[in-house]
Chain A
């Protein structure tokens, strides 16, 4: 849709005609500025993006970046030839103007490099602390997990920022990699981010997206496979307050046989104008025989005036699959659940609190990093205290 036919045919492995995932290009000129009518932009409030989707100048970063360095891991800002060589290292060919611009324009890249066979128990935590939402900026992050390594990387976004970002993840053959991205911004933040992961042969990848803060947060999280037997678990948790727009777009591109994807996103909405979008795209290409995929999105609407969009898309090009399914549900509090709890003496407020905790609990327990699990339970608590339980 936004690229020429010649580019499209040159890039597609086995061409799939679909409006859901336009073929990409590194050339910014191939991407016209979105108008909001495009399928992949129609849910996003472009006016609130501060031009990040169009031609906002990428200014010197106003986001402080700090990290810990567990033994054996290299974490460093790199530039020059090394940085240029990392652009597209995940197989990403940008399908949005903002991603193409980020790769074309960023002067440096934050690289987390986990060597082959390294078993790193302590999570690498990268703190990205925004200091000025008036500064439009771009960031490129590369997370490289060597063959048969095991490690966890946390990207913790806080503060004030207007950021266009590309995060590229390369999971080597047989590696076990977890990437957790927390969007815990202040209310004025705008964050457009594209996470692209290449999952190696027989590798296990877990990607966790947690979005609480910010005025607009949009994350595209895509996965492709670098060989058979790779497995991706994509987990997400979001909580939108009044006026917030939180959008998660997942794409599991099964381009290798016997690969797996399992997507589970849960969100809660409260307050006037809270808007969440979840798009779960799964493509099973002809070559991808014997794959398994399941995707699920659940939304809990806690007050009036909120809107949750939830769209699972499953495209199947081969009949030889092990299993493919999806589920999507958006609901208010279940009166029967509340009645059951209240009939045991639990007051209305506490009953609602229990139900929301329960809603997120199973998902939070799957994250696998205890400190983050605890923090998220408290964050859920704080979000509830802010609005839904206040008036009861």
Chain B
């Protein structure tokens, strides 16, 4: 089971001029096994939604609720959220100097499972995950995100998704900056993840391109901190043809 319910979520960030409201009441439910795409123009609050669900300290929740299978996500620490089954693939993965990818993956897997993975199967699993994402076997010896190309960073995020195998994955602009080959490799990884039973995906993107590879069940148009419209996959086609003007012009 994996049901992520977001109700009337309101979020502010601190600025020089005081707190600024970014999310103005977001309501969204991802039922068992559903993939939802959130699309919207720059600055509409898409990434804020992703990071505030994951618990980034920069954001202050001022109202609303987020629950995962009925559990209060907002009451959990960042790492508790991950251990409860949330995963955020980041738009800008962070460098951790001196910490190798293999050490990082093993530490994360141990934390998520509550016990160290069996060495033999784990090494095999890691190698398989890296290979499926076209990452060199020596990748494990490199320091986390240090000197990675943009494509390597995103493929590394998806390798983590597959190895940690959460209940719900939030993908924050995983497609941005990828060439067509890398986009396919990354999309295949996401599709392998969601082919499993009951996995939820919240796919945040600026472009419709990735939706040709990952077909969503629902599409939400995000404008000015709230959902302006929602529909099926056909809504993405409409956005492709018409852009966001119709939504953003209403704000002016």
Contacts and interface: CB of A to CB of B under 8 A. Distances in A.
Interface of A: 334-337, 339-348, 350-351, 354-355, 357-362
B82 A344 contact: yes
A346 B77 CA distance: 11
A358 B98 contact: yes
A342 B95 CA distance: 14
B75 interface: no
8 contacts: A344-B82, A345-B108, A347-B79, A354-B103, A354-B107, A355-B99, A362-B98, A362-B143
Contacts of B133: none
A339 B56 contact: yes
Interface stretch (B19-27, B65-73, B86-94): B86-94
Given A339-B94, A345-B111, A354 B99 contact: yes
A362 B99 contact: no
A357 B79 contact: no
A351 B83 CA distance: 14
B122 to A, nearest CB: 15
A361 B78 contact: no
A-side interface mostly:
helix
Nearest to A335: B57
B96 A341 contact: yes
Contacts of B104: 341, 344, 354
Given A348-B77, A350-B111, A358-B143, A342 B99 contact: no
A345 B87 CA distance: 9
A352 B104 CA distance: 13
A130 to B, nearest CB: 32
A345 B79 contact: yes
Given A342-B78, A346-B107, A348-B79, 10 more contacts: A339-B57, A340-B96, A343-B54, A343-B90, A344-B108, A345-B112, A357-B99, A358-B98, A361-B99, A362-B143
Interface of B: 54-57, 77-79, 81-83, 87-88, 90, 93-99, 103-104, 107-108, 111-112, 143, 160, 164
Contacts of B56: 339
A215 to B, nearest CB: 29
A342 B78 CA distance: 6
Nearest to A358: B98
A336 B90 CA distance: 11
Nearest to A298: B97
A348 B87 CA distance: 17
B111 A347 contact: yes
A344 B90 contact: no
B111 A339 contact: no
Contacts of A337: 94-96
B107 A358 contact: no
B94 A340 contact: yes
A351 B112 CA distance: 13
B164 to A, nearest CB: 7
A335 B94 CA distance: 10
Contact of A342 (B77, B93, B97, B164): B77
Contacts of A348: 77, 79
A355 B96 contact: yes
B79 A346 contact: yes
B98 A357 contact: yes
Contact of A343 (B88, B95, B103, B107): B88
A318 B93 CA distance: 43
Contact of B97 (A339, A347, A350, A359): A359
Contacts of A346: 79, 107-108, 111
A339 B93 CA distance: 10
Contact of B90 (A340, A350, A351): A340
A370 to B, nearest CB: 17
Contacts of A360: 98
Contacts of B103: 354
A252 B90 CA distance: 43
A36 B87 CA distance: 55
Contact of A344 (B97, B98, B143, B164): B164
Contacts of B81: 343
By Cβ-Cβ distance, the 9 closest A-B pairs, closest first, are: A358-B98, A361-B98, A345-B82, A344-B108, A358-B99, A345-B111, A340-B94, A342-B78, A345-B112
Nearest to A349: B79
Nearest to A338: B78
Nearest to A344: B108
A237 to B, nearest CB: 12
Contacts of A358: 96-99, 143
